């Protein structure tokens, strides 16, 4: 017989379940995530002038974020393997807040969304900024890591409502 | 010219060959694998009552098995990269045998089977159980790691014949 | 001759530099990091009652965070390989804020600190919580990822000053 | 203050705990593990005559096992990173049983044992044998994966008692 | 709205960009790469007679190259994840040059080429040869790592022009 | 009994052997490796002016090389895990040759050398340069990947003899 076997009586033993996407249709999908790294005025100036001792903070963090996005399913246990068509990371410097804003876009064609890939790209890029600036100041903080928008998939498109935290 | 280049005269030098699946058709595929971890009565009781010092054995092993399945092609040299649509791991406790039975189902749509992914999920989950119980007893043993069934692919469906070892 | 070779005239080409720790002394080191995942009241209730469909959120996130900490030097380009002696992750549920608070402690004996390992543990655990709750609500946000304290190393011990953001 | 911070009131939330080895002393450590892959008479003959289509089964499995041992702490969530001083894998062919016996020795100097590294080496080598022989027969089974002996560490040396399963 | 979001004003900050392949069509693709490891007469003789102390150089290097090809997108930051349909590595021994010639073919069906996968397979196989022979001689050198041919994709087929360096 | 177990009669089955370094003493060790990527005049100009479309070639390659060095023991089967104290990569542009010269220094304190880590850093950095320039020209070639010098270890220091290939 050819029907798919099923598991009976799981009994809540070993509680970690991927979503079975074998019945989902493949569509074009994108996700946009953002986050902020508050580094303070001094570190922000050094980043802008490319004078952080460990190197070019934004390019190194960009590389780390892109590589991190491609590791998502190895880092987050219940995420599916995805062949990303693109990972794009943008940084902007907010002088007033003494912060680097990180934004990532991910794209694929497939049965699963790429929200977690965008959020992982932002998180790993943010951690790399943290690592490269921590000899300048210890008062660093990563905030506002969140999904801004997604397209594709059965649940449809999404755009995060505007609000005090949502730029 | 556009034809695929070929390698001539391999001469038995460097003997490790993947199967070329470029001519295989993509079909829905599933695999079911099983294995047993004999831990003894005392460790089994502690697992059931969730009192193993290192934590919730079945959930931790479930996570490890799912992550392990996604690492199959990095662990087994001649396996192809596969984007799994699902990995599902089930545990059952056999008091008489003092054993945890592990069962894994894997699914994909593609030109290659997912038997080794299911077997890797079982093996890594079993090793995690071993690791988490080894402070209770050293007489642990992993047995009966085998393919129970598969569907899809040119070679057709397969179900392991019943027998003393095949539950 | 046996002296260590050096690189001359780097000329700002290829700006990414690890810190050379060959002259640093090996000491016992610890770090504590924290972060918060705002998931809202409904998801928080489901986490508490262990009714999130994907499984036991806190145990899965704990496992992901521990594994993530051990991947730090592969994720953050300029971090050194470290053999961690311990990674400990704690969760607490804040009903008023609709949030899960994550805290991680890392320990090693060596020439480099383990701040980034603690921060990576928190980030990967937080992303896993995000992933497991995102079918309940899309309005999730990771905030307050920061170092709380560290001990060991030449720069001495550090404890983050109290403040509105620093619990 | 410089004392190590501790986590209070874990409340059984997120149950996955590494053993804190920061107080353990570093000693020389070895472990020996074994396992068996039952492949049947035909596949065994092909392995012996090096005629398995995918290549030299024992050398490929040896490489996979050595690489797998070095991945142990990334595969088994609660294992510590270890710098192995040696991984040695031996195969013997048992004609009567139609089986390949796998044995692995691991060595390190450190605060943690290397039992799981030896068991992982055996398991990954066994899975590679499985993968390379599965086009010859589907009735393959991995059995008897267990620790045979260990030396070093506070709990002292161990040698598995002789018995029907323990060669 | 469902259109794909875009990033505005990148400002040359964080300069690392993958190519967005979401608009590329999926075609059959192959690549052939080559390289040479000059090891000298003595090491070449030991390789041929399979007497290098560390083992069967060509099979171990073959395995390493195949596994390396599957790691390409984790090693080269701007490469896309690819599910390879085949990786094939061939070695030939050049007595006159005291060299091992390495050649790799990679295949996939998808929107991106597999040149870098073939080149990574050659490089990792070559480094493995280097590692296994370096106790025999220190005067080893890897040369001529280059793309020989590719098929598929919008830019069409390519065959490297003949020349003194291009065998 | 506490003596280290040994493997008897390996019989040339499964030929892949790490060197057992459990009896080696730990010393300070460094290695310097070099390599060249011939990209041609046009790509070299674009690298110098930082106008390669994929981004800042030298910084991205630097990051890739540093991360690659830390992956050495996962890529080269018989290399030991090493905690590197430093990885330093330098690039210089040779207009006459139309080439980027890559040089890497690695350092550790331990029982094994870090030659392969330096060579892997050079190779992965070189492959990244290749990847980022391949849309400009297909006639790229990596040459001269070799060890220039090492210090530490029983075999003593080494400096590659000068010669036409050895800059």
- Cβ-Cβ pairs closer than 8 A, A with E, add up to 81
- Residue E83 pLDDT class (50, 70, 90 cuts): very high
| Placement of tokens 């999404």 in the chain | A158
Which residue from A115, E20, A78, A106 is spatially nearest to B89, judged by alpha carbons? Answer: A78
Domain for residue C84, yes or no? Answer: yes
Domain for residue A157, yes or no? Answer: no
Give ipTM to 2 decimals: 0.93
Q: Is F3 labelled a binding residue?
A: no
Coil, strand or helix at D89: strand
pLDDT at residue B14, rounded to an integer: 79
F20-32 per-position pLDDT tens digit: 999 998 999 999 9
Residue of F nearest to D125 (CA): F14
Which residues, at least 6 apart from F157, have a Cβ–Cβ distance to it below 8 Å? C1, C2, F149, F150, F151
Domain for residue E5, yes or no? Answer: no
pLDDT at residue F163, rounded to an integer: 65
Which residues, at least 6 apart from A48, have a Cβ–Cβ distance to it below 8 Å? A93
pLDDT at residue D164, rounded to an integer: 52
Tokens of B164: 């003393």
Note if C12 is an active site residue. Answer: no
Give the Cα separation of F102 and F127 in Å (integer).
Answer: 11
Where chain C has pLDDT below 50, the residues are 1-11, 165-167
CB atoms < 10 A from the CB of E85, how many?
26
F86/C18 CB distance under 8 A = yes
Coil, strand or helix at B57: helix
Average pLDDT, chain B: 90
pLDDT over 70 at B10, yes or no? no
pLDDT at residue A17, rounded to an integer: 95
Element (H, E) at D121: helix D115-133
Domain for residue C81, yes or no? Answer: yes
Q: Residue E104: how many CA atoms within 13 Å on its side-chain side? A: 36
pLDDT at residue E163, rounded to an integer: 65
Tokens of E126: 């070559």
Give contacts of F32 with chain C, Cβ < 8 Å.
5
Q: Is A113 exposed, middle or buried (0-12, 13-18, 19+ CB in 10 A)?
A: buried
Query: What is the domain range of residue C62?
Result: 28-153
D78/B59 CB distance under 8 A = no
Please state the rounded mean pLDDT for residues E1-23: 64
Please state the rounded mean pLDDT for residues F39-44: 97
| Placement of tokens 């039952």 in the chain | D38
Of A19-33, B44-58, C126-140, D153-167, the one with minimum mean pLDDT is: D153-167
B63-87 per-position pLDDT tens digit: 999 999 999 999 999 999 999 999 9
Q: Is D51 labelled a binding residue?
A: no
Domain for residue F34, yes or no? Answer: yes
Question: What radius of gyration, in Å, describes the C-alpha atoms of chain C?
Answer: 19
Q: Is D116 labelled a binding residue?
A: yes
Which residues, at least 6 apart from C82, have a Cβ–Cβ distance to it below 8 Å? C72, C73, C108, C110, C112, C114, C117, D81, F83
Q: Is D79 labelled a binding residue?
A: yes
Domain for residue E113, yes or no? Answer: yes
E62/B1 CB distance under 8 A = no
The DSSP code sequence of F46-105 is HHHTT--TTB-HHHHHHHHHHHHHHTHHHHSTTPPP---SEEEEEEEEETTTTEEEEEEE
CATH number of the domain bearing residue A144? 3.30.70.640
Please state the rounded mean pLDDT for residues F2-13: 43
Residue of C nearest to F153 (CA): C2
Q: Which of residues 146-165 of F touch C (CB under 8 A)?
A: 148-149, 151-152, 157, 159
pLDDT over 50 at E3, yes or no? no
Which residue from D143, F30, A96 is spatially nearest to B164, judged by alpha carbons? Answer: D143
pLDDT over 50 at F8, yes or no? no
Q: Which of residues 52-111 of C touch A (CB under 8 A)?
A: 53-56, 59-60, 63-64, 67-68, 71, 75-79
pLDDT over 60 at A9, yes or no? no
Domain for residue D114, yes or no? Answer: yes
- Residue B163 pLDDT class (50, 70, 90 cuts): low
pLDDT at residue B154, rounded to an integer: 84
Domain for residue D6, yes or no? Answer: no
pLDDT over 90 at A3, yes or no? no
Check if the beta carbon of residue B66 is closer than 8 Å to that of residue D30. Answer: no
* φ, ψ at B86 (rounded to 5°): -165, 145
Which residues, at least 6 apart from B49, have a Cβ–Cβ distance to it below 8 Å? none
- For residue B88, the cross-strand partners are B105
Give the Cα separation of B159 and A68 in Å (integer).
Answer: 39
Where chain D has pLDDT below 50, the residues are 1-11, 165-167
CA dihedral F36, F37, F38, F41 (to 10 degrees): -110
Give contacts of C134 with chain A, Cβ < 8 Å.
115-116, 147
pLDDT at residue E164, rounded to an integer: 52
A62-98 per-position pLDDT tens digit: 999 999 999 999 999 999 999 999 999 999 999 999 9
Check if the beta carbon of residue A25 is closer than 8 Å to that of residue A111. Answer: yes
Overall number of domains in chain A: 1
* φ, ψ at A35 (rounded to 5°): -165, 165
pLDDT at residue C162, rounded to an integer: 80
pLDDT over 60 at E61, yes or no? yes
- Residue B156 pLDDT class (50, 70, 90 cuts): confident
pLDDT at residue A164, rounded to an integer: 52
């Amino acid at each position: 017989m050819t029907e798919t076997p099923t598991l009976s009586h799981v009994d809540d033993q070993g509680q970690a379940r991927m979503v079975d996407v074998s019945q989902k249709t493949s569509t074009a999908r994108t996700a946009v995530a953002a986050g902020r790294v508050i580094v303070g005025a001094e570190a922000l100036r050094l980043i802008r002038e490319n004078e952080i001792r460990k190197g070019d903070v934004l390019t190194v963090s960009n590389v780390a974020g892109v590589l991190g996005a491609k590791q998502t399913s190895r880092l987050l246990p219940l995420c599916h393997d995805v062949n990303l068509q693109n990972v794009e990371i943008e940084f902007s410097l907010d002088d007033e807040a003494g912060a680097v804003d990180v934004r990532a876009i991910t794209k694929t064609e497939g049965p699963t969304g790429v929200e977690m890939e965008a959020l992982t790209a932002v998180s790993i890029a943010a951690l790399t900024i943290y690592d490269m600036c921590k000899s300048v100041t210890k008062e660093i903080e990563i905030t506002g890591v969140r999904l801004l928008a997604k397209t594709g998939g059965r649940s449809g498109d999404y755009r995060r409502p505007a609000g005090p935290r949502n730029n």
